[in-house]
Structure 1
Amino acid sequence: MKILKVLIILFLVTSFSELKSDEVNDVLKNKILKNIRCLICQGQSVYDSESEFASSIKLIVDSKINDGLKEKQIYQFLREKYGDWVIFDPQLNKNTYVLWLLPLLLFLFGGAIIFKKLNNQK
């Protein structure tokens, strides 16, 4: 009887850990798919798209997660295959300096213009 109880407990523990692992993988998969741009649909993520490209990317990401790759490794694989444009949130590197710094420069330039106008009025 004790052996049966131990086996039932082991079964329950392993089944819950598998469910938790699948849940974590689904969350990771959805996070990655929401950050990947569909190359067919303009401005739509792979998560939201129903195109053939999106379907194939969903399968690729799923297989990469099952292979044990981390999020950054999957993004790197997709960048190598499709370029930096495929990621909605690109990394800061020599090719994306303008993308990251232009909004800051425009904000500072606009602030300087507004500050100068306000000082001229006084």
Structure 2
Amino acid sequence: MIIFLSIGFSHLKSDEKNNELKSKILKNIRCLICQGQSVYDSESEFASSIKLIVDKKINEGLKEDLIYKFLREKYGDWVIYDPGLNKKTYFLWLLPLLLFLFGGAIIYKKITTNKNNKI
């Protein structure tokens, strides 16, 4: 009896863990039909098919990174909200840093020129 209860509870825990993983993955996948919406929030046919695919891949035992790899291969890097760093996404990752440095340089130059003008 105790064995059956422990098997039942472990099955519930794994289902809960799979549901959390599924939600996490679906929130990080962009719906290609609904601009600006994740698959998790979308009700389009594309989102429904991706939800089924992700569920199937999780039940097959695939890890999160392998599911993302599968989706990238099938739909491209754009389908993932958080694309990895690779040759195609260097600009995407470096642009915020470059803008920050450029803005900081402009602010620094304005401050130093204002100080020099006051003297």
Range into which the TM-score falls when normalised by the shorter chain: over 0.9
Write the deviation string for residues 84-118 of structure 1: whole angstroms up to 9, x where unpaired: 00000000000000000001000000000001100
Which amino acid letter does the alignment assign opposite residue 70 of structure 1?
Answer: K
Partner in structure 2 of residue 4 of structure 1: none
Matches within 5 A, 1:20-39: 20-39=13-32
> Paired residue for 1:97?
90
**Matched AA of 1:85:** W
- Does 2:35 correspond to 1:42? yes
SS of residue matched to 1:91: coil
Where structure 1 has 5 or more consecutive residues not aligned to the other structure, the ranges are 1-7
Q: CA deviation at 1:23?
A: 0.3
- Equivalent position amino acid for 1:44 in 2: Q
Residue type of the partner of 2:93?
Answer: W
Give the TM-score normalised by the residue count of structure 2: 0.96
Question: Which of 8, 12, 15 is residue 15 of structure 1 equivalent to?
Answer: 8
Note the residue ranges of structure 2 that are not aligned, 5 or more in a row.
Answer: none
Moved over 4 A (4+): none
The number of aligned residues is 115
Work out the percentage of aligned pairs sharing the same amino acid. Answer: 79
* Equivalent runs, 1:1-122 vs 2, <5 Å: 8-122=1-115
When normalised by structure 1's length, the TM-score is 0.94
Match of 1:5 in 2: none
What is the Cα deviation at residue 61 of structure 1?
A: 0.1
